[in-house]
Amino acid sequence: MTIVVTGATGQLGHLVVEALLRRGADPADVVATGRDLTKVADLAARGVRTVAADYADPESLRAAFEGADRVLLVSGSEVGQRLPQHTNVVAAAKAAGVGLLAYTSIANAETSGVQLAAEHVATEQVIRDSGLPWVFLRNSWYLENYTPQVPTYLEHGAVLGAAADGRISAATRADYADAAAAVLLDAEATGGTVHELGAAPPSPSPTWPPPSPRPPGPRSPTATSPRPS
């Protein structure tokens, strides 16, 4: 079974290829695509086939998907361009007659208030309309969105954000990549499945942080401190 991973020159896609190999895929059955193949030279050295493909270049996609049984479309990084680019990928997958198209979408796509969700929802619709068997991997936030700022958090003693009462569920890229690899290698994965890989939105939305059991203010040492015995 030939599995093509797009965006393999990026962080998530590269981890997906590594996870496929770790889970036992034959490197000769894995195709890693992206625009700059120098970024996947390490995978080529392990026996993975690397093929240049640009989401904006339908011909390159058609060539990359030739003989593919399964394709993972890693969502592109050029916000605003992604719907036409992803549409090209879906058309190429359709032309190649792939048996399963997996797509890395966004958590709770239909109800998400995140502006970036619109391109994911539209891409999901293009995929549904294509008639191809599909799986949506609705990845939530990457933990790595936070980790570069850990020194700043430590310096100020606070994690500052603009999410107000919004709640976050996050996992590492490696965990999302492993989930994608598991789906791509699952012989039972026949399509029509949405994997929500973040927590479901709370309903009704709870107050966070929870109300304090006591009013804020100086604490009485006699009330809270254990008496020396």
By the criterion CB under 6 A, which residues form the site for ligand NAP? 7, 9-13, 34-36, 39, 54-56, 74-78, 85, 104, 139, 141-142, 145
**Residue spans of alpha helices (H) in the chain:** 11-22, 41-45, 58-64, 82-96, 117-130, 150-156, 173-185, 221-224
- Report the nearest approach of ligand NAP to the CB of residue 96 (Å): 16
Nearer to ligand NAP, 25 or 53 (CB): 53
Q: How many CA atoms lie within 13 A of 133 on its CB side?
A: 13
CB contact at 8 A, 197 and 179? yes
Nearer to ligand NAP, 72 or 132 (CB): 72
Residue nearest to ligand NAP (CB): 10
Nearer to ligand NAP, 50 or 139 (CB): 139
Q: What is the DSSP letter of 119?
A: H
Nearer to ligand NAP, 64 or 100 (CB): 64
Distance, CA of 89 to CA of 6 (rounded, Å): 9
The kind and range of the H/E element at 163 are none
Distance, CA of 183 to CA of 142 (rounded, Å): 19
Nearer to ligand NAP, 134 or 176 (CB): 176
Vertex 96: Cα angle to 93 and 101 (nearest 5):
35
